[in-house]
């Protein structure tokens, strides 16, 4: 045995062992992408380098042998820099999406591609569970989310984006109407968390902290939980019966819910701190923003959030027959459509830009117009005019579009001397909402009057107190943004409760160059939209407008997905190594030498654009299977892996054994979609006992149709049996 030291740890290794073998035998990590114990050492990737005292150059640990007294460092600054350069070079020629753009565009990072694919396969329960890894209220969010995920959907380059939001609601509704899924809860940790605010952020944080085993209590000032989902979203968009069912599921995880208790009146942050191990402030933004327009103080001028809350609580404001709504967002759409349902005969939406610049969801804009709403585009209130203290009309400034502003939209500018006046009975200002600052006087605020919370850790100026959602930093946003913050905050709080550090660094992922993607081979298919109530029916009541997707519609829609994200994401060795280091492949960027390859093989999909030329597939095919169905074609930077003469795999001697798929570190070789249940591609190994010199030795064996594909032997077999690989395989086969 040889004595050596790796990373300060004294170990022993058999004479003739490599540094990599010695490290792995002692649970010391050294990355490698081109090494496998089933084939001969190649040393192509350059990631397994280590530094040894007294040796000037870095050593490739997969081939360098141990020696007596050797002192090795696997993570020195020099080693790390070498690995980073190697990774940057590999990634600069790796053209693939680790994660689909829809998921990257979702503030909660929901695995949209994953659950859409499960719905396509009819696996609705699995889809729901995947959604609930990130979203605790999927039926509610599926109905109200303005779906930023769909804005990133590449299907739009073929025809229209996937209807991701309604697919989410489809899977969630099936769950709520059957045996509702309640996740397993971890053993109690003895830690207590108090959450102030029962809106989407607070409910989400409570759900996941409870699942982790923490004792959670939510305090909310309203008579029911739900926050703006309950008191800001009309019944016709989000039936409160649906919200109630989802909140009940959260309660079943052990969350205690206390309603009718207001911060600053019934308790303080400090009083909750005294009885809790951590506090999360998720109070939301409950104050309607002012327009600073003369006449706002007049009777009949209402804030958008105040108006909607009154309707939902059964105390609608007296709006009369002629109503003007100021604003172009989703709150303005909720307000105008609610006004129609309350019996208003003339409902105007006053917006200073054009229809194309409206931030509201297009579907909401169109459906409001169908219900009778009148749009006054390129107009802006100059004043609200009153008589005897009651609003009677609005003077509108006529606008035109100028140069783009910071948002990228063209800035509206007044047309000098042009105005218009319209008679109204009431005005609803739906231009935004903000925090009630008096409620959070114990916390430090930003210049904009929001809670100051660390962007990465959500920590406030009080130790153990975290803040999330509409009340913090940039102010009110959409519900899925608050949910995304809650998801991240939960991990921080869990680590805080355990006394652990939490890594907030954003790990590297690979993204395709959008300009290089070819969609010409994609067949167009119509986007499936849920049917809705007729306009002349729905505008007279608060029944839910959308009828939801049918099963056939949901499956058809889900099957439109282009599956942009890599199916090998969770087991990609290249990504696993790349995410350990801060790399910048862009500094080596150039023309991608490899293109996406499509062939007619029934089982294996080759994607040469993801290939890093590690050679594992070529060498395993030749050394283990004795087939040589694929090889390295070309020379230099344009080299790629292909069958001989660039034939389709089906026209070679390939047996579709899947060994190359199981060894590929990047997803360049994968099993084709939906074939996992049909074609065994050797993800599972069986334990077998073989005789080595009269002594039984256990090994793990992977087979296909009875043929041995891989052997994972213990140290005794590989280092002391003195057998060639062929002899070892023969022994197993016998």
Q: Is the pLDDT of residue 699 over 70?
A: no
The 10s digit of each residue's pLDDT in 321-365 is 999 999 999 999 999 999 999 999 999 999 999 999 999 999 999
User: What's the burial of 398, exposed, middle or buried (CB within 10 Å: 0-12/13-18/19+)?
Assistant: middle
DSSP string, 442-502: TS-B-TTSSB---TTT-B-SSTTEEE-GGGBTT----HHHHHHHHHHHHHHHHHHHHT---
Q: Rounded to 5 degrees, what are φ and ψ at 3?
A: -95, 130
Residue 354 · residue 385 · CB < 8 Å = no
Is 62:24 a contact under the CB 8 Å cutoff?
no
C-beta separation of 304 from 429 below 8 A: yes
Burial class from Cβ neighbours inside 10 Å (0-12, 13-18, 19+) for residue 610 reads buried
Taking only the tens place, the pLDDT of each residue in 266-294 is 999 999 999 999 999 999 999 999 999 99
Whether 684 shows a pLDDT value over 50: the answer reads no
Q: How confident is the model at residue 388 (pLDDT cuts 50, 70, 90)?
A: very high
What pLDDT is recorded for position 494? Answer: 97
Residue 106, Cβ density class (10 Å: 0-12 exposed, 13-18 middle, ≥19 buried): buried
Q: What is the pTM of this model?
A: 0.86
Chain centroid to Cα 248, Å, comes to 25
Q: Is the dihedral of CA 27, 28, 32, 34 positive or negative?
A: negative
Over residues 453-475, the pLDDT tens digits come to 999 999 999 999 999 999 999 99
Q: What is the pLDDT of residue 597?
A: 59
517: pLDDT confidence band, cut at 50, 70 and 90? confident
> Residue 707: pLDDT above 60?
no
pLDDT above 70 as % of the chain: 91
Please tell me the predicted confidence (pLDDT) of residue 660.
Answer: 86
Please write the tens of the pLDDT for every residue from 416-438.
Answer: 999 999 999 999 999 999 999 99
When pLDDT is cut at 50, 70 and 90, the band that residue 727 belongs to is low
Confidence of residue 693 (pLDDT cuts 50, 70, 90): low
For the chain, the C-alpha Rg in angstroms (whole number) is 31
Residue-level pLDDT at 713: 45
Confidence of residue 677 (pLDDT cuts 50, 70, 90): very low
Please tell me the least confidently modeled range out of 29-43, 339-353, 394-408, 596-610. Answer: 596-610
Q: What is the pLDDT of residue 92?
A: 87
Backbone angles phi, psi at 465, to 5 degrees: -115, 125
- Distance set, CA 278 to CA 48, 124, 501 (Å): 43, 36, 15
pLDDT in tens, 556-585: 999 999 999 988 888 889 999 999 999 999
For all residues of the chain together, what is the average pLDDT? 90
Query: Average pLDDT in the 511-540 region?
Result: 92
Confidence of residue 679 (pLDDT cuts 50, 70, 90): very low
Confidence of residue 675 (pLDDT cuts 50, 70, 90): very low
Band (719; pLDDT cuts 50, 70, 90):
very low
Question: Encoding tokens for residue 175?
Answer: 């769950």
Question: pLDDT above 90 covers what percent of the chain?
Answer: 74
Higher per-residue confidence, 84 vs 648: 84
Compute the distance between CA of residue 491 and CA of residue 503 in angstroms, rounded to an integer: 10
DSSP one-letter code for 133: T
pLDDT value at position 271? 97
Structure confidence at residue 603 as a pLDDT band (50, 70, 90) = confident
Helices 551-558 and 112-120, interaxial angle, to 10°? 130
pLDDT, one tens digit per residue, over 298-314 is: 999 999 999 999 999 99
Asked whether the predicted pLDDT for residue 524 surpasses 70, the reply is yes
- Higher local confidence (pLDDT), 729 or 712: 729
Residue 244 in tokens: 């109630």
Is 704 a residue whose pLDDT tops 70?
Answer: no
Q: With contact defined as beta carbons under 8 Å apart, do 115 and 141 qualify?
A: no
Query: Do 280 and 194 form a contact (C-beta atoms < 8 A)?
Result: yes
Ranges of beta strands (E only) in 134-231 are: 192-196, 215-220
| For range 158-166, the mean pLDDT | 97
Provide the pLDDT confidence category of residue 725 given band limits of 50, 70 and 90. Answer: very low
Asked if 250 and 207 touch (Cβ cutoff 8 Å), the reply is: yes
User: Is residue 669 scored above 90 in pLDDT?
Assistant: no
pLDDT at 223 over 90: yes
Question: Tokens representing 26?
Answer: 């002692």
């Amino acid at each position: 045995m040889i004595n050596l030291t790796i990373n300060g740890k004294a170990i022993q290794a058999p004479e003739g062992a490599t540094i990599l073998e010695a490290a792995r035998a002692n649970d010391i990590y050294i990355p490698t992408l081109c090494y496998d114990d089933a084939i001969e050492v190649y040393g192509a990737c350059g990631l397994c380098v280590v530094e040894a005292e007294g040796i000037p150059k870095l050593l490739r640990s997969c081939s360098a042998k141990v020696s007596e007294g050797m002192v090795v460092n696997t993570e020195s600054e020099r080693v790390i820099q070498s690995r980073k350069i190697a990774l940057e070079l590999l990634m600069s020629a790796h053209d693939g999406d680790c994660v689909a753009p829809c998921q990257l565009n979702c503030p909660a990072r929901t695995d949209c591609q994953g659950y859409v694919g499960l719905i396509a396969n009819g696996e609705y329960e699995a889809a729901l569970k995947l959604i609930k890894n990130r979203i605790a209220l999927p039926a509610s969010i599926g109905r109200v989310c303005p779906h930023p995920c769909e804005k990133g959907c590449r299907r739009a380059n073929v025809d229209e984006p996937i209807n991701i939001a309604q697919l989410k609601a489809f899977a969630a509704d099936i769950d709520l109407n059957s045996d509702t899924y309640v996740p397993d809860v971890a053993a109690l940790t003895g830690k207590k968390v108090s959450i102030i605010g029962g809106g989407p952020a607070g409910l989400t944080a409570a759900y996941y902290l409870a699942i982790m085993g923490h004792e959670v209590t939510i305090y909310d000032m309203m008579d029911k939980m739900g926050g703006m989902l309950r008191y800001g979203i009309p019944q016709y968009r989000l039936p409160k019966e649906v919200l109630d069912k989802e909140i009940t599921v959260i309660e079943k995880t052990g969350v205690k819910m206390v309603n009718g208790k207001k911060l600053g009146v019934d308790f303080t942050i400090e009083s909750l701190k005294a009885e809790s191990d951590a506090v999360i402030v998720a109070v939301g933004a409950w104050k309607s923003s002012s327009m600073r327009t003369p006449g706002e103080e007049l009777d009949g001028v209402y804030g958008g959030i105040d108006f909607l809350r009154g309707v939902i609580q059964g105390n609608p404001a007296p709006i009369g027959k002629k109503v003007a709504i100021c604003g172009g967002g989703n709150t303005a759409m909720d307000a105008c459509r609610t006004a129609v349902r309350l019996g208003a005969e003339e409902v105007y939406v006053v917006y200073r830009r054009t229809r194309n610049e409206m931030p509201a969801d297009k579907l909401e804009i169109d459906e409001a117009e169908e219900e009778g709403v009148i749009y006054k585009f390129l107009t802006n209130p100059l004043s609200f005019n009153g008589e005897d203290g009651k609003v009677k009309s609005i003077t509108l400034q006529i606008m035109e579009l100028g140069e783009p502003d910071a948002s990228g939209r063209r800035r509206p500018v007044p047309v000098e001397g042009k105005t218009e006046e319209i008679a109204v009975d009431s005005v609803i200002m739906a231009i935004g909402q903000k925090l009630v600052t008096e409620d959070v006087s114990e916390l430090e605020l930003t210049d904009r009057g929001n809670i100051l919370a660390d962007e990465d850790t959500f920590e406030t100026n009080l130790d153990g107190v975290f803040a999330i959602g509409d009340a913090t930093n940039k102010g009110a946003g959409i519900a899925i943004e608050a949910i995304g913050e809650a998801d991240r905050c939960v991990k921080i709080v869990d680590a805080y409760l355990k006394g652990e550090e939490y890594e907030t660094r954003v790990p590297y992922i690979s993204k395709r160059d959008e300009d290089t993607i070819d969609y010409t081979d994609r067949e167009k298919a119509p986007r499936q939209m849920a049917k809705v109530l007729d306009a002349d029916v729905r505008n007279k009541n608060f029944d839910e407008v959308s009828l939801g997707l049918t099963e056939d519609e949901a499956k058809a829609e889900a099957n439109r997905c282009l599956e942009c994200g890599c199916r090998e994401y969770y087991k990609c060795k290249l990504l696993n190594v790349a995410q350990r280091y801060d790399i910048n492949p862009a500094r080596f960027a150039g023309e991608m030498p490899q293109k996406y390859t499509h062939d007619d093989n029934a089982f294996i999909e080759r994607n040469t654009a993801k290939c890093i030329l590690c050679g594992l597939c070529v060498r395993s095919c030749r050394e283990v299977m004795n087939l040589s169905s694929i090889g390295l074609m070309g020379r230099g930077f344009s080299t790629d892996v292909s069958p001989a003469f660039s034939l389709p795999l089906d026209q070679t001697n390939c047996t579709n054994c899947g060994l190359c798929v199981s060894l590929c570190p990047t997803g360049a070789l994968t099993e084709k979609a939906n074939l996992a249940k049909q074609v065994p591609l050797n993800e599972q190994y069986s334990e077998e006992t073989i005789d080595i010199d009269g002594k039984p030795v256990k090994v793990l064996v992977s087979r296909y149709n009875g043929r041995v594909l891989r052997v994972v032997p213990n140290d005794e077999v590989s280092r002391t049996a003195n057998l060639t690989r062929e002899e070892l395989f023969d022994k197993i086969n016998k």
